[in-house]
Amino acid sequence: MNYFPVTFLLMVVAETLLAAVMSGVNHLTDGQEIEENLIISRRRAISEHDHRTDSAYAGILSDEEDIEEMKHLEPSEIKARMSIILESMDINKNGFIDKMELLEKLLDSYRKLSAEESDAEFLTSDLDEDGFVTWKEYVGDTYGSSEHFDDEMTEDEKQLFLAADVDKDNHLNKEEFRYFYTPEDYPHMQPLVLLGVMNRFDTDKDGKITFEEFIGDRRTEHSEEWLEEEKTKFTEELDVNKDGVLDENEVHSWASPNNNQIAESEAENLISKADKNQDGVLSFDEVLDNYYTFISPESEGYYIFRDEL
């Protein structure tokens, strides 16, 4: 799943505030759903559930329906389809898939899956089905009736919406909605993503985020084990220069992960799993022997189990 809300969003409404304000909205009562879907318009960048940061994103397939359909095919049928995909990936037609060819395919999958997810949300938010989404429609679809909605709560998100409205006609077409839904993917949106994160977390307004600011009110809603995991994430992953705080560059990397870096890491992981002779490239047979990994790493266990039946 790809790209990153490279501007990965403009982020974040405190979970506790959301839980309190939205308690009367039927489809937003689950804490995990609130965290994943409502932290600033369900921005995946800073969400713990972002597809691109939780292990590999989506293998080399770029359509959720294709991934699901593969689960119902026999291994021979899967391999036949995969062979066609590999032919298209083999740009220099030498019978092997090298790292750059795999990287290009992963980035393409990211872009297409991202667009697919955004377009599905667009259809849901276009309440009057006129081909456009207004701010009022988006708010109604995401937060429910006005009695559960607070303008102040979504101010950063509204600024993203306005910035995504490139032609300034007060509503978003499908392309503009993609800017809004995954702002981290678009350079012109990224500054607002950073601003939104800083507004949300930098409570003392010193231009940096401490661990206490990073955790905020979430401390009271999670276990000590979760707190320790977040502490490790903060110190070992996010705080790159190890000065105990997150500066703007580190916040930008956190909120707007680099697609190329994510894809490169995934490509290296896939090659390490399938490159049986360790020559640095993948033969078609090496890919097909590990087809479950390349279809969708998240479903790897399913395919292995089924093949063993």
Residues in the chain with pLDDT < 70?
1-58, 62-63, 145-153, 296-309
Residue 93 has φ and ψ, to the nearest 5°, of 55, 45
Count other C-beta atoms under 10 Å from residue 94's C-beta: 10
Is 266:18 a contact under the CB 8 Å cutoff? Answer: no
DSSP assignments along 98-144, one per residue: -HHHHHHHHHHHHHHHHHHHHHHHHHHH-TT-SS-B-HHHHHHHHH-
Q: How far is CA 152 from CA 7, 18, 52, 174, in A?
A: 21, 12, 30, 26
DSSP assignments along 146-213, one per residue: GGG--GGGGHHHHHHHHHH-TT-SSSB-HHHHHHHHSGGGSTTTHHHHHHHHHHHH-TT-SS-EEHHH
Give the angle subtended at the CA of 264 by the CAs of 12 and 254, to the nearest 5°.
20
Per-domain residue ranges of the chain: 15-187+259-308
CA 127 to chain centre: 24
- Give the closest residue to 41 by CA, choosing from 134, 158, 128, 151: 158
Record the tokens describing residue 18, joined without a space.
């959301």
Is 101:89 a contact under the CB 8 Å cutoff? Answer: yes
Q: Is 216 exposed, middle or buried (0-12, 13-18, 19+ CB in 10 A)?
A: middle
Q: Give the bridge partners for 97, in sequence order.
A: 282
Q: Give the bridge partners for 172, in sequence order.
A: 133
pLDDT at 146: 52
Amino acid identity of 116?
A: E
pLDDT tens digits along 140-173: 888 776 555 556 667 888 999 999 999 999 999 9
Record the tokens describing residue 265, joined without a space.
């890491």
pLDDT at 154: 78
Cα(120)–Cα(75) distance, rounded to whole angstroms?
30
pTM of the model: 0.66
- Give the closest residue to 97 by CA, choosing from 274, 280, 281: 281
